Amino acid sequence: MDKRTLLAIVLSVAVLLLYQMFFVKPPQPGQAPAPGTEPAKTETIAEQIVPQRVAAARKPVAGKQQPAQDVKVETPLYTAVFSTRGASLKSFKLKNYQQDCVKCADDIYPAIKRFIFGSKEQAHIKSDAPVELVSIEEGLPHPLAVTFPESSVEISAEAMFEADAASLNLLNAKEKKRLVFSGVYDGVIKVEKIFIFDPEKYTIELDVKMYNLTGAPLVQVPKLSWHQAIDPQKDFGRYDKEGPVMSVGGSIERLELKKLEKEKILGPNILWSGFESKYFIASFIPENPSLMSAIVNRGADNLISVGITGQKEIIPGRQSAVVSYSLFLGPKQHNELKELGVGLEKAIDFGIFKWLAIPFLLFLNFLYTFIPNYGVAIIVLTILIKLIFWPLGNISYKSMKEMQKIQPKINELRQKYKNDQAKLGQETMALYRSHKINPLSGCLPILIQLPVFIGLFNALLYAIELRHSPLFFWIQDLSAKDPYYITPILMGITQFIQQKMTPTMGDPMMAKMMLFMPVVLTIFFLNFPSGLVIYWLFNNILSIGQQFYINKKLAN
């Protein structure tokens, strides 16, 4: 009996061991924590719902290491070169816009010689090279890379894709065409970047599709970025407007490059975001702006990154999700930007008097349809503005002439009541009433015209229509300064003539100081766009004519 009992015990233990080894699965980590202990905290939501084998693959995935291929896209408006590394943008050249010439002054001389001696030499103030929107050094991330930070599978900007075409030609196309980049990473997720090009527009549609190849949920956070390398030695002027720009709930946010030292997060409700220069912008518009935030940073290598990211996309097993954007890469033309319907036209900084600047620009473009020279159109616009303000100018000149007549009496009052300012003010106003003179009528018309000048100033300063647009032989760019300062000097001369013709009144010392105003204005206008100087020059000429007319009329 003892042997039988011992044998039964041994067999029972063997059966239990065999059952534990072959039929009972070992507990998964984190499923049954020991009593009295807390479960380990996870880093992200992704690790809470993703199987262990997927969560363990959260190091940035670059895909297969193979040589990157270029894919060229040609349209009537631009030439784009994409790379299969990151399905990103290597180059984007605008065919209808040329880069600025670095030796403009040297290139203008042939135009003067042609004008004087009839030479057939041609003058060029712009280079033959098209404007390039992409500025990036080799080895750095390219623009339009889509990464997936804090995701189940983090895909880096260096991830390799495959393109469904070696090139795309839309030169004679009448309809849109698409280019698809795709890649599978760790056998867990497939990503497609679908670009849709319109041959007639600078707008590009972009869909980022994510396919979950597993049976468990994935959490992916797409981030679309524009990378731009900047020259740290470049002196950015007040009117350059170069750097990150975005619309946060309809309010424009600009970040100055020299003040951008660390990462900055803005949002949510990002209507659009991008990188701008004075006349061009590379921007992306999300489909769901209320869910988006913008992330801007400046690296130690002077690489500016403007990214836009949204909420976590939870993709159930064997299903897909898509995030859509519209891209606008092109010139800051007000009408084209406004057509997008997201306020992208606000990227053109027309200032506080934009309600005047925009109508001026639209009317200038209207004149250009009949007068194919923006310089002449500016002169015509100047004449029309002068005609509108002609009655106010007459009132101003007449008032100043009348005040000049009573100036001796005003001087007597000043001498008489030099120690009693209150009495001097009362007697002076009584003198004005007796002669039916309104002292404000002399300066009020000038104050009314000041917003017009500022509005027109901003319109001419930021209108891309004036860029590289000529007037006549030595002025080949109305958006740039006069290279020989001829028009600013002429403007200063006309300003001095106008100042001398203006009736003097008030303190004689102040009248002498006012004669220095033409000199001050000339210095200011030396570096202003020649289009604006031409406006002020012809406005002065018309004002001199009007003042001469009023003086002659009052003399009779």
CA atoms within 13 A on the CB side of 270: 28
User: H-helix or E-strand containing 186?
Assistant: none
Q: What tens digit of pLDDT does each residue of 421-454 get? A: 787 778 778 877 777 777 666 566 667 778 888 8
Q: Give domain status of residue 55, yes or no.
A: no
Distance CA 24, CA 287 (A): 50
Tokens (6 digits) for 280: 């061009």
Question: Other CB atoms closer than 10 Å to residue 404's CB: what's the count?
Answer: 14
**Does residue 51 sit in helix, strand or coil?**
coil
Angle 245-467-142 from CA coordinates, rounded to 5°? 40
d(CA 137, CA 229): 7
The 3-class secondary structure across 473-497, one letter per residue, is CCECCCCCCCCCCHHHHHHHHHHHH
Residue 326 lies in a domain: yes
Domain boundary among 278, 312, 347: 347
**Is residue 233 in some structural domain?**
yes
Residue range 130-147, pLDDT digits in tens: 999 998 877 788 999 999
Residues 524-536 as b or e (16 or more Cβ within 10 Å = b): ebbebbbbbbbbb
pTM to 2 decimal places = 0.78
| 205 bridge partner residues | 196, 326
- Number of domains comprising the chain: 2
| Closest to 140 measured CA to CA, from 65, 228, 260 | 228
Residues 478 and 521 in one domain: yes
> What CATH number is attached to the domain comprising 241?
2.70.98.90
Identify the domain containing residue 448 by its residue range: 354-555
Which has the closest alpha carbon to 247: 206, 211, 283? Answer: 283
Q: Which of 539, 376, 396 is nearest to 457 (CA)?
A: 539
Assess contact for 468 and 477: CB atoms under 8 A.
yes
> Dihedral of CA 46/52/57/58: which sign?
positive
Residues 331 and 475 in one domain: no
User: Of all residues in the chain, what percent are helix, strand and coil, respectively (each to 5)?
Assistant: 40, 25, 35
Omega before residue 268 within 30° of 0, cis:
yes
Question: φ, ψ for residue 225 (rounded to 5)?
Answer: -130, 150
Q: Are residues 343 and 409 in the same domain?
A: no
Burial class of residue 252 (count of CB atoms within 10 Å of its CB; 0-12, 13-18, 19+): middle
Same domain, 340 and 392: no
Give CA 406 to chain center in angstroms: 54
End-to-end CA distance of the chain: 151
255 and 312 in a single domain? The answer is yes
Asked whether residue 12 is domain-assigned, the answer is: no
Q: Tell which of 347, 370, 394 closes a domain.
A: 347
Each residue's pLDDT, cut to its tens digit, for the chain (556 residues) gives 445 555 555 555 555 555 455 454 444 433 434 444 443 333 343 344 444 334 333 445 555 567 889 999 999 999 999 999 999 999 999 999 988 765 444 444 454 444 443 443 344 456 678 999 998 877 788 999 999 988 999 998 889 999 999 999 999 998 999 999 999 998 999 999 999 999 999 999 999 999 999 999 999 999 999 999 887 666 666 667 888 999 998 899 998 877 777 788 887 889 999 999 999 999 999 998 888 899 998 877 778 899 999 888 899 999 999 999 999 999 999 999 999 999 999 999 888 888 889 999 999 999 999 999 999 999 999 999 889 888 877 777 777 777 767 777 877 777 777 777 787 778 778 877 777 777 666 566 667 778 888 888 888 888 899 888 888 878 888 988 888 999 999 999 998 888 777 766 555 666 666 777 888 888 888 888 899 899 989 988 998 888 888 777 766 6
pLDDT at 123: 40
How many other C-beta atoms can be found within 10 angstroms of the C-beta atom of residue 216?
17
Tell me the HSE value of 539 on the side-chain side, using a 13 A CA sphere.
Answer: 23
Whether residue 160 contacts residue 62, with contact meaning beta carbons closer than 8 Å, is answered with: yes
Domain's final residue, options 347, 363, 379: 347
Instruction: State how far the Cα of 68 lies from the Cα of 162, in Å rounded to an integer.
Output: 9
Question: Is 57 contained in some domain?
Answer: no
Same domain, 323 and 437: no
What's the gap between Cα 43 and its chain centre? 37
| Residue 26 domain-assigned (yes or no) | no
Q: pLDDT value at position 36?
A: 41
Same structural domain for residues 370 and 392? yes
Whether residue 268 sits in one domain with residue 363: no
- Answer yes or no: is 257 within a domain: yes
Instruction: Kindly state whether residues 150 and 221 are assigned to the same domain.
Output: yes
Same domain, 315 and 265: yes
List 313's β-bridge partners, or say none. Answer: 220
With the CA atoms of 109, 111, 117 and 121 taken in that order, what torsion angle do they form, in degrees rounded to the nearest 10?
A: 100
Q: What is the rounded distance in angstroms from the CA atom of residue 273 to the CA atom of residue 295?
A: 10
How many Å apart are CA 444 and CA 450, to the nearest integer? 10
The pLDDT score that the predictor gives to residue 501 is 75
Residue 316, in any domain of the structure: yes
Please give the angle made by the CA atoms of 247, 252 and 255, to the nearest 5 degrees: 100
Q: Are residues 269 and 312 in the same domain?
A: yes
Q: Are residues 391 and 321 in the same domain?
A: no
Q: Which H helix or E strand runs over 181? A: strand 177-185
User: How far apart are the C-alpha atoms of 398 and 502, rounded to whole Å?
Assistant: 11
Radius of gyration from C-alpha coordinates of the chain: 35
Q: Helices in 92-230 by DSSP H: which ranges? A: 104-117
Distance CA 253, CA 266 (A): 9
